[in-house]
Structure 1
């Protein structure tokens, strides 16, 4: 009789265990509340803009040494010869109105140290001659000689001449801030210009 009771209990427990293990999954519970948003990060500091650069001076143009073209004699108080005509300037693709033009004369001025290069304008006080240059409305570059008296006036102080054209984006006579930041090339020696723009002797 005791064995029958034990067997009955074992059978009831077994049925209960299998009934629980084969039960269906429960329904999915409701979604939980949305979490709080994180704090916004600090915005990065923008760097200061750099200072504007100087106007470009690429494609600097320089001539070969041009032999003295002043006509000798004649007793004239002024003589002119052309270093570059309008067509040559046009072919170079530059605008002289927005460029810096420099002209140099070369010669054995002191007759002891050999050839030297001097920027124009140049004044020879012993002969009362003045050498300078002009750029014309037509776009040419000319060397000009002035004399105080009508002697022979050969204007032969220099053996040859060279011009240098430094193209720019603004007229050299402008008072804009861009022009003010551009170096004054007219105050530099020929050696400084030649070194700056890699111009051979």
Structure 2
């Protein structure tokens, strides 16, 4: 009997534990969410990735012509004495992609190669000299009109190479300006490199 009395509290403890274990269920309502923990420390910066391959030079939306042969005609007047005087020379070049939109919002650049493609000497138009020589142009839809004080038309030298060829560049508006680069539009080599032009 004494042994039973000593074992009774132990048996009651086991019975209570078994009762609570079997009566608890996982099907009850979830309890409230706990508070969010504090943000952890920032980790170390990882190593930079390897760079991708360099892309081909692009020209964005820029349109440019080949080197063009230009033929000038004399601009003449009749004098009171009945003679005909030449007061200048004019020429035209087709520019089919020169639109009204480019004229209003974009940019037109024209260059002249004084020498040959093998040994170029290039200037931008309009061109003037102290002697009074000038070559200039006017741009309108799909056309460039040239006017000069001399016959500045394309010709072949005694080697058969062409001299005095012209090229135009059309830059449409409405595109994002390139940043951090100042381009000298009178320097053809700088323009050629900047726009990725090919001869």
Q: Distance in 2 between matches of 1:36 and 1:154?
A: 90
Match of 2:147 among 144, 147, 168: 144
Q: Structure 2 CA distance, aligned partners of 1:35 and 1:116?
A: 79
Please give the alpha-carbon distance, in whole angstroms, between the structure 2 residues aligned to 1:107 and 1:35. Answer: 82
TM-superposed deviation, 1:122: 0.8
Matches within 5 A, 1:52-63: 58-63=60-65
Q: State the match for 2:55 in structure 1.
A: none
2:151 corresponds to which residue?
Answer: 154
**When the two structures are aligned, how many residues end up with a matched partner?**
153
Contact 1:57 1:167 in 2 (8 A): no
- Work out the CA distance in 2 between the residues paired with 1:66 and 1:35: 78
Identify which of 106, 110, 113 aligns with 1:103.
110
| Cα distance change, pair 97–181 in 1 and its aligned pair in 2 (3 A) | farther
Shift of 1:67: 0.9
Cα 1:133/1:179, change in 2 over 3 Å:
farther
What SS does the aligned partner of 2:7 have?
A: helix
Q: CA RMSD in A?
A: 4.5
Gaps of 5+ in 1: 1-8, 29-33, 45-55, 148-152, 171-177
Cα distance between partner residues in 2 of 1:98 and 1:57: 18
Residue from 63, 69, 72 that aligns with 1:70: 72
Task: Give ranges in structure 2 of 5+ residues lacking alignment.
Answer: 24-31, 43-57, 77-84, 155-162
Per-residue deviation at 1:120?
0.8
CA distance in 2, matches of 1:57, 1:101: 15
- Asked if 2 retains the 8 angstrom alpha-carbon contact of 1:104 and 1:163, the reply is yes
Structure 1 position 129 matched with structure 2 position 133: yes
TM-score normalized by the length of structure 2: 0.55
Structure ID, larger Rg = 1
- 1:179, 1:200 → 2: CA distance? 20
Change (3 A) 1:155 1:73: farther
**What whole-Å deviation, never above 9, does each CA across 1:50-96 have from its counterpart, x for those lacking one?**
xxxxxx961322111111221258544344322234xx126x89723
> 1:110-159, CA deviations, whole angstroms, 9 ceiling, x for partnerless residues?
xxxx6411111112444x331011112x35322222x3xxxxx4234862
Distance 1:179 1:197, change over 3 A: closer
TM-score (norm 1): 0.54
Distance across 2 between alignment mates of 1:65 and 1:107: 12
